[in-house]
Amino acid sequence: MGYNLPVENLKLPAVFTYGSATAAYQIEGAADRDGKGKSIWDVYTHLEPSRTNGENGDVACGHYDRVQDDVKLMADLGMKTYRMSLSWTRIIPLGGRHDPVNEVGIAFYDKLIDALLEHGIQPSVTLYHWDAPQTLYERYGLFLDTAEFRADFEHYARLCFSRFGDRVKTWITFNEPYIISIFGHLNGTLAPGHCAERGSDTVREPWRVGHTLILSHAAVTAIYADEFQPTQQGRISIVLNGHFYEPFDRSNPADIAAAQTRLEFYIAWFGDPVFLGRDYPACMRVYLGDRLPVFTEDDLDLLRATSKINSFYGMNHYSSKFARQITDRPPAKDDWTSNIEELSTNIHGEEIGPASSSAWLRIAPTGFRKLLNWVSSRYPHLPIIITENGCPCPGETDMEVAKDDQFRQRYLGLYLDAISRAIYEDGIEVQGYYVWSLMDNFEWSAGYGPRFGIIHVDYDTLGRTPKNSAYYLRDTMEQRRGTSSVRNDY
């Protein structure tokens, strides 16, 4: 599915927006400077034994001290938008609605936002990209207490809208609630690291976390619409991630159904309440029973009202997989998939696509196009923005491979071609593309191993070197949008 396909550099709309994406904890560093409080990731990365390859984001890419240089690099590489996240504990060190605000943290983001605008780059700001205040975790368990978390998140969001909303016109509430729920509160590979082995209730916790995130998103969306949008004229939504799923055995009805079920458990879990204002997918209600929380009538009223306010679908997508319905063994009591197995190879031994340096991430642009169609069909009133897409290259520890990152260039070219086909052949409105990531960075539990950046970072000196994929994206975006002034400097 990703083999032997040529990159065609197919056209994109002239108004199609190109930029890059990062997250605060992954690039900023300055973890304990200028009044910043501890986040759950500041704590998680210092646990013993280490759960992040002995590495942490204390320094990361040093972006905190390199804002002007990094923004100039973005401009030089032709970017017109930048998806960044705010560090909650840089703004409210203890996190809560009654806790003091850190004006130095506010000033840092003022400086970054102003620098972007001075270079003609529109900031797209994520309020929460996984780095919750540790103090709130210690006070009440964060997402496990819906009322407390929602109140603190509302306060934090209102502060951000009031301080930055005059210049920020695109807001995202949460990045990847699926990952927060499952990886943070079931298998424990991401902060705060809850899992059954460490005594957590993984039968119910992930679904309570997801419920809290949905209602907190809706509450903040309503606040923005009522209090800020009329004067600031911005837009707001959420970012959902997801693979596309093909049946493991196309002749087996159970596997055909499994592919659809897996999409609903992964994406529609959040998408249906947020974008359609309705209950969780029926397949989840049937399978999970009372493990899945219930929306009250007030909750549903809020969801129905705010479903009309979300102005785009933020899609993080990297790869596709095969789905196989397991029939030869019962599910674990905390199973979260409807007893479905994810694989990179189908019943005939055919791979979904060539592997990057991360085995799970493979070149599968056909699946990407199918996912764009699936999302557009389920949520037809929303344009789509690709808020993350990219890959790490095989062999990228070699500097020559890192600079001339042909695997990445091919991946990006094929996925941009898939967007073009979705727009012009399938009639789907895709408004923009944010490559993940602007620069190599701290990749959560994988530490500094995978390099997703289109800019190489020397982690000893923190020097930046654009890779050939950065120049490829700059030039192909100009060509595809019909604004080419082709440069051959790579």
8 located within any domain: no
Separation of alpha carbons 151 and 153, rounded Å: 6
CATH of the domain at 169: 3.20.20.80
Separation of alpha carbons 35 and 426, rounded Å: 50
Separation of alpha carbons 161 and 2, rounded Å: 42
Separation of alpha carbons 169 and 459, rounded Å: 33
198 located within any domain: yes
Separation of alpha carbons 373 and 214, rounded Å: 24
DSSP string, 342-389: EESB-TTS-BSS-B-SSTT-B--HHHHHHHHHHHHHHSTT--EEEEE-
- Tokens at 62, concatenated: 């040093």
Q: Indicate whether this model's pTM tops 0.95.
A: yes
The pLDDT of residue 63 is 98
The pLDDT of residue 483 is 74
- Tokens at 71, concatenated: 């923004």
> Which residue numbers are catalytic?
176, 388
What is the count of structural domains for the chain? 1
Residue 378 CB partners (closer than 8 Å, separation 6+): 268, 271, 272
3 located within any domain: no
Sign for the CA dihedral angle at 133, 121, 404, 318 comes to: positive
The pLDDT of residue 1 is 54
Measured in residues, the chain has a length of 490
C-alpha distances out from residue 225 to 45, 169, 229, 265, 380, Å = 37, 13, 5, 29, 21
| Domain span including residue 316 | 17-481
The pLDDT of residue 2 is 54
208 located within any domain: yes
367 located within any domain: yes
End-to-end CA distance of the chain: 29
| Chain-centroid distance, C-alpha 408 | 19
The pLDDT of residue 4 is 81
Angle at 298 between CA 297 and CA 299, to 5 degrees: 90
Low-confidence ranges of the chain (pLDDT < 50): 486-490
* 244-247 vs 170-175, strand pairing mode: unpaired
490 located within any domain: no
Closest Cα partner for 243 from 339, 353, 163? 353
The pLDDT of residue 488 is 44
Residue type at position 373: N
444 located within any domain: yes
Query: Under a CB-based contact definition with an 8 Å cutoff, are residues 13 and 423 in contact?
Result: yes
394 located within any domain: yes
